[in-house]
Amino acid sequence: MASVSAFGYCERLDDDEYADDYGPCARTYASLNAYNETGHYAAVTESLAVEPTGAHDAGDTSRLINGEARDTGRPCTKSFWSISTERRVASRDARRHVDHLLELLDGKGEHLRTLREAGWRFRVSIFWESKYGHGGPILGPQTMRRLAELELEIWFDCYYLDRESDPPEVEGHPDWRPLKL
């Protein structure tokens, strides 16, 4: 069973349970991103049978961002395809976000291999914002195995913000000091 202390430290987190209210995290989401020098993002959409939340082809001046088409006036240098859990998965546990993406890819390992042969590179990105200036995302062995089976690398985009103006409720914690930058 997941157990998070009043101070936000993870005391125990089982691989098959989520801590949706994970204390140290203010906000998190994950994205599966695909990049190609010249390919068309429609090939990824068709092969994976997943509609992207972000996409564009090399040379396009219009980009799909969070499901909306936006014209930036600048041509894109690479083709890009992405599906994000931002505003789609309600949890502060990065594992739930990554597992959601992995569920979308269930049974599609061969599709990823074929797309890689066509020049596509894939990466899972985790955005993670600290609530108190410490901590970080957790990935369990089962999730890491699934990522490895699909040959997906992972990138962490972590932010540790100064919360001195809005200090957390941590009365009694002997080591807590406001973060000074």
Per-residue confidence (pLDDT) for residue 139, from 0 to 100: 93
Query: CB under 8 Å to 72, separation ≥6 — which residues?
Result: 61, 62, 63
* Predicted pLDDT at 135: 85
97 CB contacts (<8 Å, ≥6 apart)?
28, 29, 30, 85, 89, 91, 126
Block means of pLDDT (10 residues each) for the chain, 181 residues, are 49 73 94 96 98 95 84 93 96 96 98 98 97 88 96 94 52 47 48
Q: Could you report the per-residue pLDDT of 73-120, keeping only the tens digit for each?
A: 899 999 999 999 999 999 999 999 999 999 999 999 999 999 999 999
Q: List the strands of the sheet with 153-160, edge to edge.
A: 68-71, 62-65, 54-56, 79-84, 25-36, 121-130, 153-160
In this prediction, residue 72 carries a pLDDT of: 87
User: What's the confidence (pLDDT) of residue 82?
Assistant: 97
31, with CB counted inside 10 A (0-12, 13-18, 19+), is buried
User: Measured at the alpha carbon of residue 26, what is the angle toward residues 127 and 16, in degrees to the nearest 5?
Assistant: 75
> 175-178: long-range contacts at Cβ-Cβ below 8 A with a sequence spacing of 24 or more?
176/7
Task: Give the pLDDT confidence score for residue 29 in this predicted structure.
Answer: 97
pTM: 0.81
How long a stretch of residues is the chain? 181
With H, G, I as helix, E, B as strand and everything else as coil, classify residue 51. Answer: coil
Contact 134, 180 (CB under 8 A): no
If residue 46 lies in a helix (H) or strand (E), which one and from where to where?
Answer: helix 41-48
Classified as helix, coil or strand, 4 is: strand
| DSSP 8-state symbol, 53 | S
In this prediction, residue 10 carries a pLDDT of 53
